[in-house]
Amino acid sequence: MAERSATTSTIDRVTGGTRLRRLRRSDWVRRLVRETDIRVEDLIWPIFVREGDGDPEPVASMPGVFRRSVKGCAQAAREAAALGIPVVALFPYTDASQRDETGSEALNPDNLVCRATRAIKDAEPEIGILCDVALDPYTTHGHDGLVRNGVILNDETVDVLCRQALVQARAGCDIVGPSDMMDGRVACIRAALDGDGFGDTMIMSYAAKYASAFYGPFRDAVGSAGALKGDKRTYQMDMGNTAEALREAAQDIAEGADMIMVKPGLPYLDVLARLVDEFRMPTFAYQTSGEYATIMAAAQNGWIDGDRAMFESLRAFKRAGAAGILTYFAPKVAEALHRG
Ligand code: PBG
């Protein structure tokens, strides 16, 4: 029996008799009417690959995240596939001795990412592989492109990125993810792939990638933090802009992107929702290293419930319309989802 009081008639008048709390009364009904949820199929797991054979090496600023050997990546991919995670994304920790001004290691068909790609395809042919197209893990200056007199060169960089994408496609990567924010790169990469017999290789463009403070731990993980000279504001987007994100996405789609991405994730949820609404493309969110580290650090201090914060943040992406999420939590969430 619902409670009745002197105010009931007022409440009935303003609500028209509708009591929205009725559907929140117990767990089963909340689950019954829940509009969005996270599934293992929504997850893309970014993993870091390094030289050598040793055990996974922890990344200090990303508790629970490791740099793995090539073999270790294959093992991780096998675990990911067993959990039902559809895609892993590969990022290399390139030895300082292999970095140079032009990031030439990016074009080495035997670089870490290519070797890891082949090892994963060998071990687990049924998992998708996403490779990042950008030069920052390979350059001594830590920028995503070629630099002359302090200026990041657009067109010359795009030439190199096309060759990098080809090297990755030849190694067996399924999706290339240009994360560099150069103009016109999607069209050029598409043409390069098609011209080399890789018409089926997909492009997930980092369409709206902002110059953000939330990439810090990632730059530790790939070893470009100390190297980076200046910042990336002449190519990554300004944090105040949304209309520009729509233009970036429209451009990438017109150039042939199969999927688009917004990065970082939570601080740009509005941008994600708008892109989904506007373009109806498979649109992904990247929950960046800084977002991951923020949740982990607070959880480790006992300031928030880490598991709940993890699920809440991931559900937010789905609620905003994301097709999927790149997240360092992927294996942890997948395990939790399997436990039920
Ligand atoms: C490289 C790249 C970055 C990330 C993904 N690809 C760093 C950057 O642009 O400086 C960040 C990922 C993360 O923070 O988790 N272009």
> In this structure, which residue's CA is closest to atom 5 in ligand 1?
179
Per-residue pLDDT of 174-188, as tens digits, reads 999 999 999 999 999
Does 4 reside within a domain?
A: no
- For the CA of 326, the closest atom of ligand 1 is 15
Catalytically active residues, by annotation: 209, 263
pLDDT band per the 50, 70, 90 thresholds, residue 2:
low
Find where tokens 């073999």 sit: 71
Q: Would you say 125 and 172 are in contact if contact means Cβ atoms under 8 Å apart?
A: no
Per-residue pLDDT of 223-244, as tens digits, reads 887 888 899 999 999 999 999 9
Find where tokens 């290789």 sit: 201
In order, the DSSP letters of 193-213 are HHHTT-TT-EEEEEEEEB--G
Ligand 1 touching residue 136 (CB < 6 A): yes
Q: Which pTM was predicted?
A: 0.96
Does 218 reside within a domain?
A: yes
Query: What is the whole-number distance in angstroms between the Cα of residue 137 and the centre of ligand 1?
Result: 9
> In this structure, which residue's CA is closest to atom 10 in ligand 1?
215
Residue 94's Cα: distance from chain center in Å?
Answer: 20
Tokens of 295: 């949740």
Query: What is the whole-number distance in angstroms between the Cα of residue 157 and the centre of ligand 1?
Result: 17
Ligand 1 touching residue 220 (CB < 6 A): no
Per-residue pLDDT of 265-309, as tens digits, reads 999 999 999 999 999 999 999 999 999 999 999 999 999 999 999
Ligand 1 touching residue 73 (CB < 6 A): no
Does 312 reside within a domain?
A: yes
Ligand 1 touching residue 268 (CB < 6 A): no
Pocket of ligand 1, candidates 48, 168, 234, 288: which has the most ligand atoms within 8 Å of its Cβ, to mutate?
Answer: 288
Q: Using the 8-state DSSP alphabet, how is residue 334 labeled?
A: H
Q: Which of 252, 272, 270, 271 is nearest to 325 (CA)?
A: 272
Looking at the 3D structure of the chain, how many domains does it have?
A: 1
Q: Would you say 170 and 118 are in contact if contact means Cβ atoms under 8 Å apart?
A: no
Does 306 reside within a domain?
A: yes
Query: What is the whole-number distance in angstroms between the Cα of residue 7 and the centre of ligand 1?
Result: 55
- Distance between CA 147 and CA 293 in Å, rounded? 30
Does 84 reside within a domain?
A: yes
> In this structure, which residue's CA is closest to atom 11 in ligand 1?
215
- Distance between CA 132 and CA 305 in Å, rounded? 32
Pocket of ligand 1, candidates 113, 139, 205, 215: which has the most ligand atoms within 8 Å of its Cβ, to mutate?
Answer: 215
Question: pLDDT at residue 253 above 70?
Answer: yes
Does 214 reside within a domain?
A: yes
Q: Would you say 45 and 86 are in contact if contact means Cβ atoms under 8 Å apart?
A: no
pLDDT band per the 50, 70, 90 thresholds, residue 5:
confident
Per-residue pLDDT of 143-194, as tens digits, reads 999 999 999 999 999 999 999 999 999 999 999 999 999 999 999 999 999 9
- For the CA of 177, the closest atom of ligand 1 is 6
Query: What is the whole-number distance in angstroms between the Cα of residue 13 and the centre of ligand 1?
Result: 53
Q: Which of 49, 47, 67, 69 is nearest to 58 (CA)?
A: 67
Does 32 reside within a domain?
A: no
Question: pLDDT at residue 1 above 90?
Answer: no
Does 21 reside within a domain?
A: no
Angle of helix 112-123 versus helix 70-83 axis, rounded to 10: 40
Range of the domain at 120: 38-339
Pocket of ligand 1, candidates 144, 268, 327: which has the most ligand atoms within 8 Å of its Cβ, to mutate?
Answer: 144
CATH of the domain at 231: 3.20.20.70
